[in-house]
Chains A and B, each alone.
Chain A
Amino acid sequence: MNVKQYKHLLLVGVVSLFLAACSSTSSDDDAQGMGAGAGIGDAAGGVTTGTVGDGGVGGSDLDTYNPGGLETVFYFDFDKATLRPESRAALQQHAANLRSNPKRIRLEGHADERGTREYNMALGERRANAIRDFLVLNGVDAGMIEVISYGEEAPAAFGSDEAAMAQNRRVELK
């Protein structure tokens, strides 16, 4: 069996698990989950619904990183993924905390609404990677950091003025 086939099987497995999760929680909590509606074109097909719980950070509460009162949102300039100087002190403190007491963390990268959505998805990841690289340079285990980009899809502030957009160009440490 070659590697590609193995990957495929793995993927099928993951998908199966996921689908199983879907069906086992159906009609459990519609408000929290996701409903799927259907229906163009085939009289034989019924309508399926399923719910999926909101995805969260992996691990139990014991593993959750508590940032204390430290700043956890770091802002960026338009179309840039360079750390601002004012972000460094808090990040160095986070790095020190995570060195002495390793926890899994999640870095969520975001962009403002200007530019195309998938490009902004890449830009959000680039910003989160910049934070990750800084933390790793400061001794944090890269394997404990997960990077997720939301692009412009999950704004912190609504609106198209510069103030709102500045708040949306960010990485959130969770």
Chain B
Amino acid sequence: MSSGTINRGCRRALHLWQMLAAVVLTLGGWALPARGELSIEITRGADNPTRIAVVPMTLGAGQLPGDISAIVAADLQRSGLFDPMDRVNMLSFPRRINEIYYRDWRLADMEYVVVGDVQRPAAGRIRVQFALAQVAGERQLLSTVVEGSDAELRDIAHYISDKVFETITGIRGIFSTRIAYVTATREGAGLAYRLHVADADGARERLMLKSKQPILSPRWSPDGGELVYVSFETGRPAIFRQRLSDARREQVTNFRGLNGAPAWSPDGSKLALVLSKDGNPEIYLYTFATGAFTRLTNHFAIDTEPSWTPDGRAILFTSDRGGSPQVYRLTLGSNQLQRVTFNGSYNARPQLAPNGRTLVVVHRGSGGFSIASQDLVNNDFRLLSQSALDESPTVAPNGAMVMYTTKQGGRSVLAVVSVDAGARFILPASASDVREPAWSPFLR
């Protein structure tokens, strides 16, 4: 039996969020958008999802501030790989492995059962001893204890989801990760721009920055502790970094022309970014320790949207040097340049999955702009989305899902698709245009 507890960061996160909420109330000047948490709408599931029963984990009515097993079931369903059983069809509610009557679950055609025993070790604390059982073979695959405060109920649920998902699929779960994104809301004649961080399921949205001037291109530091982004708050584009823990921010660039598309290196020591101070957009490296800017490209065409290969040895970027926007790879050190995409007339904003092999791009085809993937080994090219105005793909840290933006009812919303294009869901927002999601790295 192993045990785990929600890490300190999560606990602090909630604490800080409560503090922020309090400060917002007292400030009153800049209203936090209603915590209209993005609600999930699953538009397509995988063909053969695994059937699993997540048995309710309760203490009795009103004893818990949320429904842990409902959150776990929703997590698993969103992955596209699971089809959780509706609890109204459950014949019994076992809380421990030895209470599972396997015949009930076999008759319901379940492959797995998740049970959990909830306790209150102290006031305001929740402790869940949970287990995963495989119906065929009637065996326990996992048994773990997780503990946290009432405010960490969602963290507890996501932890359970991560463990169950990883045990069954062998793939690390992303339910405890976060997303950063920008919203644009019409206010008066113009737009108000907000940078947010939320849980990967859209819950617990937190405001990081609000401005009347555009905010774009948020990216995470590799340790998940900071964001880097472009803000026009000075009247010109500039790159800022901002720590999530205390909102400490620092302006990184202030050059004439474009200051854009920052991307943190995997080792955290550098940013790849775009500057046009010498006449047209070029890719540069900025080294935090020295403050030095090193120019990487030198071409009259547009060079932009740099991203790092997972090993940090090369930069992928968009360039129209061949006549239309395509993806190129620049190997650092040797400065060897290689064109990577050849399908169609527009492939931009490259990002490599953690396997270093699956390239995700924005592709223009006959139907408009969609998200596509290209296998860099066998060049297998596939469309992951089919709408006309999809953009801003970001790959989950486990490489299994891609989040992007699509249009729904005239507004831009977040959508998620599995890399095999089997499962898809949408996170509709209340009233704002939601843009440029950036998926965090693993946070623990």
Q: Are A37 and B304 in contact (CB under 8 A)?
A: no
Q: Are B436 and A38 in contact (CB under 8 A)?
A: no
**Given A35-B29, A40-B17, A121-B304: A154 touches B214 (CB 8 Å cut-off):** yes
Interface centre among A41, A47, A151 (most CB of B within 10 A): A41
**Given A38-B16, A118-B261: A148 touches B206 (CB 8 Å cut-off):** no
Contact of A121 among B235, B243, B260, B407 (CB under 8 A): B260
The residues of B that contact A125 with a CB separation of less than 8 Å are 257-258, 276, 280-281
* Interface size bracket, B side: 35 or more
Segment from A24-32, A60-68, A85-93, A95-103 that makes contact with B? A24-32
Contact of B436 among A36, A46, A117 (CB under 8 A): A117
Residues 18-76 of A contacting B (Cβ, < 8 Å):
18-19, 27, 30-49, 52, 54-56
Contact of B258 among A37, A116, A149 (CB under 8 A): A149
Instruction: Give A49 to B292 CA distance when docked, in angstroms.
Output: 30
Q: Are A119 and B349 in contact (CB under 8 A)?
A: yes
Segment from B88-96, B97-105, B245-253 that makes contact with A? B245-253
Q: Are B206 and A39 in contact (CB under 8 A)?
A: yes
Any B CB within 8 A of the CB of A83: no
Q: Are A118 and B211 in contact (CB under 8 A)?
A: no
Interface centre among A40, A49, A153, A154 (most CB of B within 10 A): A40
Q: Are A11 and B254 in contact (CB under 8 A)?
A: yes
Instruction: Give A55 to B348 CA distance when docked, in angstroms.
Output: 31
* CB-CB nearest in chain B for A10: B254
User: Smallest CB–CB gap between A65 and chain B, Å?
Assistant: 17
Q: Are B436 and A37 in contact (CB under 8 A)?
A: no
**Given A41-B12, A148-B236: A48 touches B246 (CB 8 Å cut-off):** yes
The residues of A that contact B292 with a CB separation of less than 8 Å are 4, 8
Instruction: Give A144 to B376 CA distance when docked, in angstroms.
Output: 47
Q: How many residues in A have their beta carbons less than 8 Å from beta carbons of B? A: 59
Any A CB within 8 A of the CB of B302: yes
* CB-CB nearest in chain A for B303: A122
User: Smallest CB–CB gap between B380 and chain A, Å?
Assistant: 22
Instruction: Give A8 to B32 CA distance when docked, in angstroms.
Output: 36
Instruction: Give A153 to B436 CA distance when docked, in angstroms.
Output: 12
User: Smallest CB–CB gap between B326 and chain A, Å?
Assistant: 11
**Given A11-B254, A30-B30: A37 touches B234 (CB 8 Å cut-off):** no
Q: Are A43 and B15 in contact (CB under 8 A)?
A: yes
**Given A36-B208, A125-B281: A41 touches B13 (CB 8 Å cut-off):** yes
Instruction: Give A4 to B368 CA distance when docked, in angstroms.
Output: 44
Q: Are A116 and B348 in contact (CB under 8 A)?
A: yes
The residues of B that contact A49 with a CB separation of less than 8 Å are 23, 27, 30
Chain B 263-284: CB-based contact to A (< 8 A → 1; otherwise 0)? 0000000000010100011000
Chain A 137-149: CB-based contact to B (< 8 A → 1; otherwise 0)? 0000000001111
Interface SS majority for chain B: mixed
**Given A35-B210, A55-B235, A119-B349: A160 touches B410 (CB 8 Å cut-off):** yes
Any A CB within 8 A of the CB of B312: no
Interface centre among A11, A12, A31, A159 (most CB of B within 10 A): A11
Any A CB within 8 A of the CB of B381: no
A-B contact pairs, 20 of them (CB 8 A): A5-B291, A30-B30, A33-B212, A35-B27, A37-B24, A37-B30, A39-B245, A39-B247, A46-B19, A47-B16, A55-B232, A55-B233, A115-B369, A117-B435, A118-B217, A118-B260, A119-B348, A122-B302, A125-B280, A148-B237
B-binding residues in A (CB < 8 A):
4-5, 7-8, 11-12, 14-15, 18-19, 27, 30-49, 52, 54-56, 113-119, 121-123, 125-126, 129, 146-151, 153-154, 158-160
Q: 18 other contacts beyond A40-B16, A160-B407, with CB at 8 A cut-off?
A: A8-B292, A11-B253, A18-B254, A33-B212, A37-B23, A41-B244, A46-B246, A47-B20, A55-B232, A115-B391, A117-B435, A121-B260, A121-B261, A126-B280, A150-B232, A151-B216, A154-B190, A158-B186
